């Protein structure tokens, strides 16, 4: 009995001792709805969620780009509704209790550039100033037929120029006119401007596309794609692989599942590789990037098979499943958008086709799939030479109307009109350089366009320059 009493007293003392210890307050918080750096497309309004460990009476404070943001708490869950601004959005939540606190930070990117009709470009590349259009600019910046799209890699801007048969490489995106390239790819030096072949030469190169640790150059007039496994840092870069030709010495066009005819651009749809095989009037898709030049495409769009290459598949009128001189392709891995240039229209597939000859879902520039008429309006094109998108907006270089059309959302209806125009004061003007001479707000046959981190780069072909447009001031 005494042993039991002693044991009971000991237990009580242990309990009392445990209860007398101070309570440890744990405070922690983490965002759980998104990952840092996530890119958001579609609606600007998103709900962000965080998970918190803290007493019920803890203080919660939030910020969005430095402005107060209200979070609602329910148990361990914190939530807030945010209207995202253009570009990078920094969200922060801090939880405090009992003298302790924890903070979580989340960066979300909303790709968008707010533009105004007819606004001036901020910078020109390839000329000494914004009012000069000369083919005789210094060779360290000269462009004589800039078109398609540049690429930004390892802090350098790679700008293709068809007329000098090279890609000019700038340290970053130039911020003033007259910027000189650091080096070029496709020529041995700045002074050589002749067509080339082999592993290190181009003839009228088209798009530059990042790929792995390197990039691709669509070598248009050599009817091939060159693969560079590494991003070069100086003159003399050579490709490691070639597509569309049996070897680096080949340049003959062809019509098959492995051969091309003057392709202009390429893109990736997730792991899938998409090529605008321009003068074969088709788009080729590989389920994986081709291992070599003999790897056949898996899907063809615009033709009945891989061995037919006629405009609109030989039909007198276009359809939802035909193409005529497609010059540009874009994809976010889900959708596919094609500049069907010779039909004066743009085609949208809501899902990247996994089988050949799949018809498009939406046409813009025309009221129906059965017409191919050039026009001058907010819903018409005259030779839409190129396009690009950031997932939220669509940009189309409408070459022979000397303008760029901008949609502030990806079109979902046939004939949907554009929201903005660059290069012209309005949607019904289409004169070269607005009929007033070259300037920062004019264009002459724009034949390329590329969105890059809140900037829009336009290849202004017959003004021999690129024009960089930035967000308009509020």
CATH of residue 237: 2.120.10.30
**Are residues 338 and 449 both part of a single domain?**
yes
DSSP of 90-139: EEEEEEEETTEEEEEEEEEEE------TTPPPSEEESSSSTT---TTS-T
Rounded Cα distance, 428 and 250, in Å: 45
Q: Is the pLDDT assigned to residue 11 strictly greater than 90?
A: no
**Are residues 72 and 178 both part of a single domain?**
no
Q: Is residue 12 part of a domain?
A: no
Q: Tell me the whole-structure pTM to 2 decimals.
A: 0.94
Instruction: For residue 23, give both structure tokens.
Output: 């309570």
Instruction: Tell which of 110, 137, 166 closes a domain.
Output: 110
Q: What is the CA radius of gyration of the chain?
A: 28
Instruction: Tell which of 110, 135, 152 closes a domain.
Output: 110
Q: Is the pLDDT assigned to residue 54 strictly greater than 50?
A: yes
- CATH number for the domain that contains residue 98: 2.60.40.10
**Are residues 54 and 179 both part of a single domain?**
no
Rounded Cα distance, 207 and 225, in Å: 10
Q: Is the pLDDT assigned to residue 160 strictly greater than 60?
A: yes
Q: Is the pLDDT assigned to residue 185 strictly greater than 70?
A: yes
Instruction: For residue 145, give both structure tokens.
Output: 């037929």
Our CA angle for 446, 449, 452, nearest 5°, is 150
**Are residues 172 and 146 both part of a single domain?**
yes
Q: Is the pLDDT assigned to residue 423 strictly greater than 90?
A: yes
**Are residues 103 and 232 both part of a single domain?**
no
Instruction: Tell which of 110, 133, 149 closes a domain.
Output: 110
Count of domains observed in the chain:
2
DSSP of 163-228: GGTEEEEEESS-SSTTPPPSEEESSSSSS--S---TTT--SSEEEEEEETTEEEEEEGGGTEEEEE
Q: Is the pLDDT assigned to residue 12 strictly greater than 80?
A: no
Q: Is residue 328 part of a domain?
A: yes
pLDDT category, 40, cuts 50, 70, 90? very high
Q: Is residue 8 part of a domain?
A: no
Q: Are strands 345-349 and 362-364 parallel, antiparallel or unpaired?
A: antiparallel
Averaged pLDDT for residues 138-155:
96
**Are residues 106 and 137 both part of a single domain?**
no
Q: For residue range 75-98, what is the model confidence (pLDDT) as tens digits?
A: 999 999 999 999 999 999 999 999
pLDDT category, 397, cuts 50, 70, 90? very high
Averaged pLDDT for residues 215-232:
98
Q: Is residue 129 part of a domain?
A: yes
pLDDT category, 9, cuts 50, 70, 90? low
**Are residues 232 and 298 both part of a single domain?**
yes
Helix, strand and coil content of the chain, in percent to the nearest 5, comes to: 10, 35, 55
- pLDDT of 16 reads 43
Averaged pLDDT for residues 46-64:
97
Q: Is the pLDDT assigned to residue 175 strictly greater than 50?
A: yes
DSSP of 409-448: S---STTPPPSEEESSSSTT---GGGGT---TT--SSEEE
Please give the residue that has the higher pLDDT: either 417 or 472. 417
Those residues whose C-beta lies under 8 Å from the C-beta of residue 398, and which sit 6 or more positions away, are 381, 382, 383, 384, 385, 404, 405, 446
Q: Is the pLDDT assigned to residue 194 strictly greater than 90?
A: yes
Averaged pLDDT for residues 150-162:
97
Range of the domain at 78: 25-110
Q: Is residue 409 part of a domain?
A: yes
- pLDDT of 25 reads 84
Q: For residue range 347-377, what is the model confidence (pLDDT) as tens digits?
A: 999 999 999 999 999 999 999 999 999 999 9
Q: Is residue 10 part of a domain?
A: no
Q: For residue range 317-330, what is the model confidence (pLDDT) as tens digits?
A: 999 999 999 999 99
- pLDDT of 17 reads 46
Q: Is the pLDDT assigned to residue 202 strictly greater than 90?
A: yes
**Which element (helix H / strand E) includes 469?**
strand 465-470
Q: Is the pLDDT assigned to residue 2 strictly greater than 90?
A: no
Query: String of b and e for 257-293 (b: at least 16 CB within 10 Å)?
Result: bbbbbbbbbbbbbeebbbbbbbbbbbbbbbeebbeeb
CA dihedral (317, 417, 301, 280) positive or negative: positive
Q: For residue range 402-421, what is the model confidence (pLDDT) as tens digits?
A: 999 999 999 999 999 999 99
DSSP E strands in 320-461: the ranges are 326-331, 336-340, 345-349, 362-364, 384-389, 394-398, 403-407, 420-422, 446-452, 455-460
**Whats the size of the chain, residue-wise?**
474
Using the structure block, give the residue that is written with the tokens 């001036």.
120
pLDDT category, 447, cuts 50, 70, 90? very high
Q: Is the pLDDT assigned to residue 7 strictly greater than 60?
A: no
**Are residues 304 and 359 both part of a single domain?**
yes
**Are residues 183 and 55 both part of a single domain?**
no
Rounded Cα distance, 158 and 141, in Å: 12
Query: What value does the mean pLDDT of the chain take?
Result: 95
Q: Is the pLDDT assigned to residue 453 strictly greater than 60?
A: yes
**Are residues 81 and 139 both part of a single domain?**
no
Q: Is residue 253 part of a domain?
A: yes
**Are residues 313 and 409 both part of a single domain?**
yes
Determine how many CB atoms are found less than 10 A away from the CB of residue 244: 27
Those residues whose C-beta lies under 8 Å from the C-beta of residue 395, and which sit 6 or more positions away, are 387, 388, 389, 404, 405, 406, 407, 449, 451, 456
In contact, 244 and 225? CB cutoff 8 Å: yes
Averaged pLDDT for residues 185-207:
98
Determine how many CB atoms are found less than 10 A away from the CB of residue 85: 16
- pLDDT of 73 reads 96
pLDDT category, 27, cuts 50, 70, 90? very high
Q: Is residue 117 part of a domain?
A: no
Q: Is the pLDDT assigned to residue 121 strictly greater than 60?
A: yes
* CA 379 remoteness from chain centre: 23
pLDDT category, 472, cuts 50, 70, 90? confident
Rounded Cα distance, 111 and 96, in Å: 33
Instruction: For residue 278, give both structure tokens.
Output: 């321009």
- Of 352, 337, 342, 351, nearest in space to 312 by CA: 342
**Are residues 310 and 458 both part of a single domain?**
yes
């Amino acid at each position: 009995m005494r042993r039991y009493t002693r044991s009971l007293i000991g237990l009580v003392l242990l309990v009392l001792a445990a209860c007398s210890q101070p309570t440890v307050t744990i405070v922690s918080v983490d965002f759980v709805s998104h990952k840092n750096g996530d890119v958001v497309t579609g609606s600007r309004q998103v709900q962000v969620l965080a998970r918190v460990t803290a007493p019920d009476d803890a203080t919660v404070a939030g910020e969005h780009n430095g402005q107060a943001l209200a979070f609602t708490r329910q148990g361990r869950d914190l939530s807030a509704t945010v209207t995202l601004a253009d570009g990078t959005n920094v969200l922060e939540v801090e939880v405090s209790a009992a003298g302790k606190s924890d903070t979580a930070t989340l960066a979300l990117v909303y790709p968008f550039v707010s533009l105004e009709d007819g606004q001036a470009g901020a910078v020109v590349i390839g000329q000494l100033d914004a009012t000069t259009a000369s083919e005789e600019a210094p060779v360290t910046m000269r462009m004589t037929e800039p078109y398609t799209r540049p690429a930004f890699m390892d802090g350098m801007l790679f700008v293709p120029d068809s007329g000098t048969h090279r890609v000019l490489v700038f340290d970053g995106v130039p911020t003033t006119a007259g910027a000189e390239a650091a080096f070029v790819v496709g020529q041995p030096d700045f002074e050589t401007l002749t067509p080339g072949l082999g592993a290190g030469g181009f003839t009228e190169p088209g798009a530059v596309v990042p790929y792995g640790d390197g990039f691709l150059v669509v070598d248009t007039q050599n009817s091939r794609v060159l693969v560079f496994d590494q991003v070069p840092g100086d003159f003399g870069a050579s490709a490691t692989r070639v597509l569309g030709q049996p070897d680096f010495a080949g340049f003959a066009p062809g019509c098959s599942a492995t051969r091309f005819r003057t392709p202009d651009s390429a893109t990736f749809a997730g792991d899938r590789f998409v090529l605008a095989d321009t003068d074969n009037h088709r788009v080729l898709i590989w389920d994986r990037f081709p291992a070599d030049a003999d790897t056949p495409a898996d899907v063809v769009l615009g033709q009945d098979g891989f061995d037919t290459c006629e405009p609109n598949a030989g039909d007198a009128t276009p359809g939802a499943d035909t193409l005529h001189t497609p010059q540009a392709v874009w994809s976010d891995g889900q959708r596919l958008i094609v500049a069907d240039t010779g039909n004066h229209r743009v085609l949208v597939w809501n899902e990247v086709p996994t089988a050949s000859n799949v018809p498009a879902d939406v046409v813009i520039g025309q009221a129906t799939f059965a017409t191919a008429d050039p026009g001058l309006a907010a819903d018409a094109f005259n030779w839409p030479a190129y396009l690009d998108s950031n997932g939220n907006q669509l940009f189309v270089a409408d070459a022979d109307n000397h303008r760029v059309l901008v949609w502030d959302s990806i079109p979902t209806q046939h004939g949907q009109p554009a929201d903005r125009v660059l290069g012209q004061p309005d949607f019904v003007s289409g004169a070269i350089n607005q009929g007033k001479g070259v300037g920062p707000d004019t264009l002459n046959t724009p034949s390329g366009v590329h969105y890059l981190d809140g900037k829009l780069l336009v290849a202004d072909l017959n003004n021999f320059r690129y024009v960089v447009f930035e967000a308009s001031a509020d």
